Chain A
């Protein structure tokens, strides 16, 4: 593209401008509580978990698959971390790889069922997610489990860099890795073609099945990682932790696909979308609105995001 395409650039950064605008709006209304560094560093830190879940979602979404089980993978991973570490006294350095392996296994199961039986991933992961939630309730006896190693908490939330909890930087590193894979590797292009034109990809020698399987494994891994960080953030695991993260993550993934690289699921767009959404909710709660604004905001954002992305692509018929 030659020169500066104003319209395209405006579209790319539209969400960033809206974000800045709401920050200024809430800041003007509640300068003392909203517009403080401690408020923002809390938002940046505590929502890193949501960022990672969203990043985990966009990998299968790019390949044309849904992973609805990611939130329950998070819950199970969070609970497994607490049980292994606090109840069974497994050292945290051993707990983390075990939990990550659980996440990878869930990805393999999702992928294997979707690919071998040729069932839509929406159905498979919906069922697997609910099944995982059952396991979580079972192993935890529906109790919140606390007492995890302080070193985990230290390396997740207590340590701060520029005043922001370190888990924020973990999320940014992951976003950077995914951005690199999406933009600079053949695998990233294979993911994209698998999602947009399976037949084209197959006839061009792309192993479509392996690509989709890798995407499920990646989202399982990211779900488990988010679960570990969740336990580290709160110092405990509760059996419904992930339940309220699924919709926000989808909202952020689709909203993120309207900016930075419009028309595509992309990591930096996802990061911006997450912080846009949580800023909005934080601002509204600072203004005194009660918890229902969460549902209004997340639900509304998801629907508006898909409407906007359909407008970007000229309202073409889509399978899902």
Chain B
């Protein structure tokens, strides 16, 4: 049960809100991730929470789940103030449950095992009565009209069934604990990005059923269409502030996009006019097919930075990996300097040899080896240049690494320092040094400035611009529109595996990109 206790004036008549957040603030090292955010959710309401990456959505959710402690502000449930920070692992008792994008299911376990996992009331007993639990699960699934066998393995379920299982589990848990008449809050954090249309509808009908039972739902999404479709009201966050809350049916898409993106100051564009119209150069991609991407063709000219972006689940971020063979494509080819590669059989070693390099997004797992030193990390792709005639010439290798460290302005004591000692920005510069020393023709980037401070970011932009000026073709997949505005000559916007918009030259602005992402082509997707 809840233990409302902070010194707030009790005895006041309960507010109509199920959840009321006021003035919530969280500062991370001088950066206000949340700046006096207010949010009110009524009982039985489906409430959308919208905002771009970095708008504060995730910080807000993390405060609600007790992961972060807020610096200021208050939260109350059914008018009763909650002591902050939220107690970890106690939210179910307060009638609060979360379903995150990864769903928190254990794929190798059965539906039933997953359903009762973490249900301490059951697991603490000395003997789990599996037959009774299975019967209970069947009743529960019947209530929600879910066709689920309690003994099926979760890994054999379709994505939508998994999502529904996670939601039913959360709903069951809070209804079991929150003794007071279904007064529960379910937070759904982007449960839909990888689901096909029909399946999203199945999820929505489940959400509507729950809300009809009196459960309040906070639905976090990037997707305006979905928010318009399923929510009663919505709140938009931008740069850590509440921009506004509204009745969904009174708003149009452009109005919502305007709220999400805001009127932004123009970023200083550094993309120069160095694109060469040389038809031989550059890279031509034809009919590639990956997990989400299908039958996609485009080209990148020499000296061009081509941006790829879209909402989460649109598939743009798999393209860099398909083009260097680190993820095997189902089909498609890449032509570079007149040489054509079948992507289904391309290996990273071949692509390296042909002047293609990949700067992956997951720096700490795929970019550098943290416990090895800078010399070793930088030298890995060029060892064969230094092991002539018979052994590695450590002196030359070291001076090569020293040159690169200073050329890429890596702040480090020297090549013998382990990569783990460096800041994210400097690690990324090490990764760039490692790859760009190969003087590549095609550079594939995935989120090149993720988690990197502003200063290092600008330096990385300079490096990329210099690369273009030297005639390389650059492909940059990113979810940061500002970055594309700053450096891209041209941007392809993706929606469900296909290009939905192409922006070029002066049209490459943060707000144009955002509009293209959020206002997907109507028609087939129209469903309001």
A186–B414 CB distance below 8 A:
no
Binds A, one of B102-110, B139-147, B177-185, B371-379: B371-379
From A180, A186, A192, A196, give the contact of B384 (CB < 8 A): A186
**A203 CB contacts on chain B under 8 angstroms:** 324, 326, 348, 358, 360, 366
Of listed A189, A193, A263, residue having the most chain B CB within 10 A:
A189
A192–B376 CB distance below 8 A:
yes
Bound CA–CA A2/B367 (angstroms): 28
- Which partner residue on chain A sits nearest B352 by CB separation? A205
A204 touching B348 in the complex, CB below 8 Å, given contacts A180-B391, A186-B392, A316-B371: yes
- Which partner residue on chain A sits nearest B366 by CB separation? A199
B383–A186 CB distance below 8 A:
yes
A185–B371 CB distance below 8 A:
no
A204 touching B380 in the complex, CB below 8 Å, given contacts A185-B387, A185-B391, A199-B366: yes
Bound CA–CA A201/B349 (angstroms): 10
Q: Is A313 close to B, CB under 8 A?
A: yes
B413-462 with Cβ < 8 A to chain A: 414, 416, 434
Q: Is B500 close to A, CB under 8 A?
A: no
Judged by DSSP, the binding face of B is: helix
Q: Is B522 close to A, CB under 8 A?
A: no
Q: Is B369 close to A, CB under 8 A?
A: yes
Q: Is B368 close to A, CB under 8 A?
A: yes
Q: Is B76 close to A, CB under 8 A?
A: no
B371–A263 CB distance below 8 A:
yes
**B326 CB contacts on chain A under 8 angstroms:** 202-203
Q: Is B365 close to A, CB under 8 A?
A: yes
**B118 CB contacts on chain A under 8 angstroms:** none
How many residue pairs link A and B with beta carbons under 8 A? The number is 73
Q: Is B17 close to A, CB under 8 A?
A: no
Bound CA–CA A185/B350 (angstroms): 21
Q: Is A36 close to B, CB under 8 A?
A: no
**A183 CB contacts on chain B under 8 angstroms:** 392
Interface string of A131-167 (1 = CB under 8 A from B): 0000000000000000000000000000000000000
**B328 CB contacts on chain A under 8 angstroms:** none
Q: Is A197 close to B, CB under 8 A?
A: yes
Q: Is B54 close to A, CB under 8 A?
A: no
**B372 CB contacts on chain A under 8 angstroms:** 192-193, 196-197
Judged by DSSP, the binding face of A is: helix
Chain B proximity of A74: nearest CB distance (Å) = 31
B392–A196 CB distance below 8 A:
no
B380–A1 CB distance below 8 A:
no
Bound CA–CA A122/B353 (angstroms): 35
B379–A189 CB distance below 8 A:
yes
From A185, A192, A313, give the contact of B392 (CB < 8 A): A185
A197 touching B349 in the complex, CB below 8 Å, given contacts A1-B414, A185-B392: no
Bound CA–CA A11/B12 (angstroms): 67
A205–B348 CB distance below 8 A:
yes
Bound CA–CA A261/B352 (angstroms): 31
Q: Is B381 close to A, CB under 8 A?
A: yes
Chain B proximity of A176: nearest CB distance (Å) = 13
Q: Is A184 close to B, CB under 8 A?
A: yes
A313 touching B371 in the complex, CB below 8 Å, given contacts A185-B391, A203-B366, A204-B348: yes
B355-406 with Cβ < 8 A to chain A: 358, 360, 362, 365-369, 371-372, 376-377, 379-381, 383-384, 387, 391-392, 394
**B358 CB contacts on chain A under 8 angstroms:** 203
Q: Is A33 close to B, CB under 8 A?
A: no
A197–B381 CB distance below 8 A:
no
Q: Is B294 close to A, CB under 8 A?
A: no
**B414 CB contacts on chain A under 8 angstroms:** 1
- Which partner residue on chain A sits nearest B380 by CB separation? A204
A196–B391 CB distance below 8 A:
no
Interface string of B331-362 (1 = CB under 8 A from A): 00000000000000001111111000010101
Q: List 19 A-B contacts (CB under 8 A).
A: A1-B416, A184-B387, A184-B391, A184-B392, A185-B392, A186-B384, A186-B392, A200-B367, A200-B369, A202-B348, A203-B358, A203-B366, A204-B381, A204-B434, A205-B348, A205-B350, A205-B381, A206-B349, A207-B349
Instruction: Report which A residues bind B (CB closer than 8 A).
Output: 1, 180, 183-186, 189-190, 192-193, 196-197, 199-207, 263, 313, 316
- A192-B376, A193-B376, A205-B381 known; 17 new pairs, CB 8 Å cut-off, are A1-B416, A183-B392, A184-B387, A184-B391, A184-B392, A185-B392, A186-B383, A186-B384, A186-B387, A189-B379, A189-B380, A197-B365, A197-B369, A199-B365, A200-B367, A205-B348, A205-B349
